[in-house]
Amino acid sequence: MSTMDAASCATLLPALTATAVRTALLVRGLAGKGDVHRKPDGSPVTEADLAAEAAIRKDLARLAPALPFVSEEQAEDEAPRIGARDGSYALVDPLDGTREFIAGYDEYAINIAIMTDGRPILGIVAAPALGLVWRGIVGRGAERITFAADGEMSPPQPIHSRKPASGDLVVVVSRSHLDARTRAYIAELPQARMMASGSAIKFGRVAEGAADLYPRLAPVRDWDAAAGHALVEAAGGRVVTPQGQPLRYGTTERVIDGFIASGDRAEPPANLPA
């Protein structure tokens, strides 16, 4: 199996960023077009999901042919054989926030992560409708880039997560998946102010210091969290289980039992509801 470290990820990052931007423009061009189908679990899938996955897979096969590829739509057809201890692999959500995409919101994203030894070490989150890319490599920092309709990108701007200001805790939450347990957790946080958003854009807001905390206390698929996880850690934050333990990626079901992403490396608030 191929194994990638931070140095090899840094070499690949510019080309993967270009892939994310090209795919973002492809997805943006498909907004409002094509049919919506339902997967066996009832979740929606669109032409844009499938086109984005094909584009990213093609580029990764050219850029890193030895790197195995795991993605959301692929996993619907066949169970990925790559496990947590099988070296490195690419983990992709070609269209995160499909419900927001269908509804006409701007809050959908493309997530690309590189996993090594069961942990995300590179993360790219592109927001097609916003013209934004957040990217980072754990241990090497994080950046934000804007891009135009012709694909031209701005120079990368370094970003860093923040410690909460006294008396003002900004908590970013899911617009479509805010569960009761997460609501109860936030209700116990002193002076918390909620900011609703869709998709992995929430990780970008924590990484750039626009939000302090992103709790998700319900199960979520690996590809929904991995790129954002790497991004937040690269920006100086922390992503752990609701109990404060390391996240476990690469299970047979590709599911993690929730997380808390914090801009502060210190322990996140731990007043979890039963």
pLDDT at 201 (0 to 100): 97
Residues with Cβ within 8 Å of 103's Cβ and at least 6 positions away in sequence, in order, are none
Determine the Cα–Cα distance for residues 96 and 129; give it in Å rounded to an integer: 13
pLDDT at 1 (0 to 100): 54
Q: 161 with 141: CB under 8 angstroms? A: no
Ordered by where they begin, the domains of the chain are: 6-159 (3.30.540.10), 169-262 (3.40.190.80)
Q: 153 with 146: CB under 8 angstroms? A: yes
Query: Locate tokens 């619907």: which residue?
Result: 76
What are the two backbone dihedrals, phi and then psi, of residue 99, each rounded to the nearest 5 degrees?
A: -60, -40
pLDDT at 136 (0 to 100): 98
pLDDT at 271 (0 to 100): 55
3-state helix, strand, coil in the chain (%, to 5): 30, 30, 40
Q: 153 with 166: CB under 8 angstroms? A: no
Residue-wise pLDDT for 58-73, tens only, equals 999 999 999 999 998 7
pTM of the model: 0.93
pLDDT at 42 (0 to 100): 72
pLDDT at 274 (0 to 100): 47
The helix (H) or strand (E) run that includes residue 232 is helix 222-234
Q: Which positions of the chain have pLDDT values less than 70? A: 1, 75-86, 166, 266-274
What are the two backbone dihedrals, phi and then psi, of residue 237, each rounded to the nearest 5 degrees?
A: -100, -160
